[in-house]
Amino acid sequence: MLLEAKSLRAGYGETQVLHGMDFAIAQGSITALLGANGAGKTTTLRALCAMVKTSGEIRFEGNRIDGRATEDIARLGVAHVPDGRGTFLHLSAEENLRLGAYTRKDRAAVEDDLERMLGYFPVLRERRRQQAGTLSGGEQQMLAVSRALMLRPKLMLLDEPSFGLAPRLVHELFGILRDIRSREKVSMMLVEQNAALALELADQAYLIETGRIVMAGTAEALKRDDSIRKSYLGY
Amino acid sequence: MEALIHQVVAGLATGGIYASLALALVMIYQATHLVNFAQGEMAMFSTYLAWTLIDAGMPYWAAFALTIGISFLMGILIERIVIRPVENAPVLAVVTVFIGLLVILNSVAGWIYTYTIKSFPSPFPPGMALGRFMSPHEVGAIGVTLLVLAALWVFFRFTPLGLAMRAAAQNPASSRLVGIRVGWMLALGWGLAAAIGAVAGMMVAPIVYLDPNMMAGVLLYAFAAALLGGIDSPMGAVIGGFVVGVLENLLGAFVIGNELKLSMALVLIIGVLLVRPSGFFGKVHVTRV
Amino acid sequence: MNRKIFLIIILLLIAGGLPFLVSNYRTFQLTLVLVYAIALLGLNILTGYSGQISLGHGAFYALGAYVAAILMDKAGMPYWATVPVAGAACFAAGFLFGLPALRLEGLYLALATFALGVAMPQLLKYPLLEKWTGGVQGIVIQKPDAPALLTAAGIPLNPDRWLYFFTLAVALVMFLLAWNLLRGRVGRALVAIREQHVAAEAMGVNGALYKSAAFGVSAMFTGVAGALGAIAVQFVAPDSFNIFLSITFLVGIVVGGLASIPGALYGALFIQFVPNLADEISKAAPWAIFGVFMIGFVYLMPTGVAGAVRLLTARRRSP
């Protein structure tokens, strides 16, 4: 298991949002975290990156990362594409990408990776010197994913990558994500409100309701589950 | 006409000093949204350090370089030890700590060096005067200022560390996600600001003479310059500095006389805050409720 | 509540008796403590209750002092009449300064008032005003004698003691005024504006008016203190009203305790007596000590002495 969480609790100030979650992400898999608004999906990703106060155990590659600082967790190879994208709005697109590789020492490989990202998302090549804040929502999303990949992460956490994107763009993006998984050998945890989309892409899935995991299994199994079909897939 | 040109050049020289100090203020503001009220005293303390080294026999430029180095370290230490605990505290608490720092630096300098005015050497020999409009120190000060500003520009624009510092100032949350140690970027920012302040102090000391209170007026003008240019715009701070320097000299020489210089700074500060609080190059901020 | 009144009565008795037990010089120092307490009360109204930072209150103190001095020196006004005039003048000045200052929040207001504090001595030295302000040399004032009434009634008070009781009387009035102002609607409105001004406005509190008024009232208190201070010290000069005076006031309310009326008294005792003690060490030492106290209090006792006292008395009361 690349990442394991045991009895994960997290919250904001006085309010507790996660009430003891147990889950795991297998090496090389894409794991989806499904649930309604406010269920705690974003909080889960934030908890993994120590962006909120947590208690419980989180192990990455067997070592405990709970209690460590966000930047140290990133340096271990966990790249988080946050909700809202977290773009450096006043810097250029290229500077955003280079920041993704800030902690890496292999200069030449960083240049190669930069080229490769621009290959995945040609529109970024056109806009590389443009101020990132002036890019469209879809372009910023591609930028955010590329920035995360520039880290050469072992694990990528994606928070609502489809948010605010036109359907065509979403399909394009998810296709690229599938591509990335096989080419870059990156494991992913995907938080999505759009359950159908997520279950198409993922191998494993968890369903979270008010801060607790209520269902776990393969994506196939969850797709076929009746209650999921009715509540989250709409048919 | 000659008098006018001389005032403008002298204004550019002091303007460069204001620009440097304003830049230091903006750097810290960008990263922390705090105004470093103690910036002037830090610069003054650095200048006294340089004086001590020179007085002990060290050649000027060696002392200059060493002072910059020590000031850099001092800035980092101050941020890590004094400022870090109150980074997220209410405004009054932070302001109080800054003023406390100001007061401690001022009094310790007075303690060690007494309040008698000392002269501080200018490294620019008399033979260097370019025509009758500019004294060698004025030319030299402008030169040094421009060099420092250029070096900073190159650092921030073209080096990975400079990029990381800009990122940390603009978006600390996302910076952490890419592995940047935001806390240390802050400390580095303070170190750089302290180093710039040291340069500003060493350039202004030959003009206003060295005494513990020498930076109060300079700091006020630097505030005015930073606000005029936009408290979150480095370029604005620099331009603001030169504008304020020239304005001060022209108004002082031809309009209101030299006795009201500080009041002029006050009027400028209040004026900018009322008319255009984001300055000419700054971004307008909308506060969300 | 009864306990509080009991304590206040004891305090008043002590205050009333002290001048007869200590030297004239000590009495003079105690007079200054009262003066500073009034000034700190003023600053506290603005910063503690209303949440607006002022690093330039020394300027209002100076204004009050100069108004009193000029009226006494040039217009021959009796000393006791200058106090309310100084207060009124400073209220106007504070209100006017407060109007534009409304638009400035936190740090920016601190910056603007800092500039005011730094520029004040220079303003006072301005050559064009010299025939009133006395320029760099300032103005010397006569020390008032106790009123003839008292001497005739057989209560001889030397000038120091008389001044002390005069100041004490004014201080009591000011403290009462502050207490009345702050415990009622006005106080609550100010705190509401400080905490969440948009919400306060939505509830019908006229933020602009309150904030300007707060500035005016705050300046008035400090101006009254300035007038009393000038009378006590018998001298006003521009360089005594520099930025360090404003910083002294800030130290006073941080150490004494924000948003606290007794805090003004604790703070005043601190800023009057600590420099005297520290001066023994070195001329520069008082400020180094102030600085350390400022930073120390922010880290360790952010609610000041008043807060600590509240904490201690609260603990003892719980079973």
pLDDT > 90? residue B69: yes
With contacts defined as CB-CB under 8 Å, which chain B residues touch A82? 173-174, 177
Res. A60 pLDDT band, cuts 50 70 90: very high
Subunit contact B101:C291, Cβ cutoff 8 A: yes
Q: Does residue B102 lie in a domain region?
A: yes
Best residue in A51, A88, A140 for a mutation probing chain B (most B CBs within 10 Å): A88
Tell me the residue type at C77: M
Res. B18 pLDDT band, cuts 50 70 90: very high
Question: Distance between CA atoms of C272 and C274, rounded to whole angstroms?
Answer: 6
In tens, the pLDDT along A174-196 reads 888 888 888 878 899 999 888 88
pLDDT > 60? residue C71: yes
Question: What would you report as the CA-atom Rg of chain A, rounded to the nearest whole angstrom?
Answer: 17
pLDDT number for residue B62 = 93
DSSP for C101-127, please give it: HTT--HHHHHHHHHHHHHHHHHHHT-G
With contacts defined as CB-CB under 8 Å, which chain C residues touch B259? 122, 125-127
With contacts defined as CB-CB under 8 Å, which chain C residues touch B262? 118-119, 122-123
Q: Does residue B260 lie in a domain region?
A: yes
How close does chain B come to C107, measured CA to CA in Å?
7
Q: Does residue B286 lie in a domain region?
A: no
H or E element in which residue B49 lies:
helix B39-55
Among candidates B13, B18, B15, B72, which has minimal Cα distance to B219?
B18
Give me the sign of the Cα torsion angle B153, B158, B162, B166.
Answer: positive
| Domain range summary for chain C, segments of one domain joined by + | 24-135+156-241
φ, ψ dihedrals at B258, nearest 5°: -85, -5
C99: Cβ contacts below 8 Å, ≥ 6 apart: C212
Q: Which of A70, A90, A95 sits opposite B177 (nearest CB)?
A: A70
Domain range enclosing B23? 2-275
Res. A223 pLDDT band, cuts 50 70 90: confident
> For residues A58 and C276, which has the higher predicted lDDT (pLDDT)?
A58
User: How many structural domains comprise chain B?
Assistant: 1
Q: Does residue B282 lie in a domain region?
A: no
Q: For B83-95, what is the mean pLDDT?
A: 85
Structure tokens at C309: 């006292």
Are B217 and B258 a contacting pair, CB within 8 Å? no
With contacts defined as CB-CB under 8 Å, which chain C residues touch B269? 111-112, 115
Is the CB of B182 inside 8 Å of chain A's CB atoms?
Answer: yes
Other C-beta atoms closer than 10 Å to the C-beta of A174 total: 19
With contacts defined as CB-CB under 8 Å, which chain C residues touch B92? 47, 51, 53, 258
pLDDT > 70? residue C317: no
Q: For C141-159, what is the mean pLDDT?
A: 75
Q: In what order do the strands lie in the sheet with A63-64?
A: A15-25, A3-12, A53-60, A63-64
pLDDT number for residue A182 = 83
Full set of structural domains in chain A with CATH? 3-87+155-233 (3.40.50.300)
Q: For A20-39, what is the mean pLDDT?
A: 88
Cross-strand bridge partners of residue A191: A33, A159
> What is the model's pTM?
0.86
- Contact partners for chain A, using 3 or more CB pairs closer than 8 A, are B
Subunit contact A74:B176, Cβ cutoff 8 A: yes
Res. C189 pLDDT band, cuts 50 70 90: confident
Q: For A194-220, what is the mean pLDDT?
A: 88
C150: Cβ contacts below 8 Å, ≥ 6 apart: C156, C157, C162
Among candidates B154, B198, B194, B188, which has minimal Cα distance to B65?
B198
> For residues C319 and C160, which has the higher predicted lDDT (pLDDT)?
C160
DSSP for C128-169, please give it: GGHHHH-GGG-EE-PPPPPPHHHHHTT----HHHHHHHHHHH
H or E element in which residue C269 lies:
helix C261-279
Are A157 and A79 a contacting pair, CB within 8 Å? yes
φ, ψ dihedrals at C236, nearest 5°: -130, 135
Question: Distance between CA atoms of A156 and A78, rounded to whole angstroms?
Answer: 6
Among candidates B31, B286, B21, which has minimal Cα distance to B141?
B21
Mean pLDDT of chain C: 84
Structure tokens at B114: 């007494």
- DSSP letter, residue B58: -
Q: What residues of chain B, 126 to 165, have a C-beta less than 8 Å from chain A?
A: 160, 163-164
| Residue B108: CATH number of its domain | 1.10.3470
> For residues A18 and C313, which has the higher predicted lDDT (pLDDT)?
A18
Mean pLDDT of chain A: 88
Please list, residue by residue across C45-60, b when 16 or more beta carbons sit within 10 angstroms of its beta carbon and e when fewer do: bbbbbbbbbbbbbbbb
Question: Distance between CA atoms of A109 and B222, rounded to whole angstroms?
Answer: 44
Res. B289 pLDDT band, cuts 50 70 90: very low
Q: Which of C108, C198, C287 sits opposite B277 (nearest CB)?
A: C108
In tens, the pLDDT along B262-287 reads 888 888 888 888 787 777 777 665 54
In tens, the pLDDT along C202-242 reads 766 666 777 788 889 999 999 999 999 999 999 899 988 99
Please work out, in degrees rounded to the nearest 5, the angle formed at the alpha carbon of residue A122 by the alpha carbons of A121 and A125: 110
With contacts defined as CB-CB under 8 Å, which chain C residues touch B82? 295
In tens, the pLDDT along B110-164 reads 888 888 888 888 888 776 556 666 788 888 888 898 899 899 889 998 999 999 9
Q: Which of A88, A98, A103 sits opposite B179 (nearest CB)?
A: A103
pLDDT number for residue A59 = 92
Q: Does residue B288 lie in a domain region?
A: no
pLDDT > 90? residue C276: no
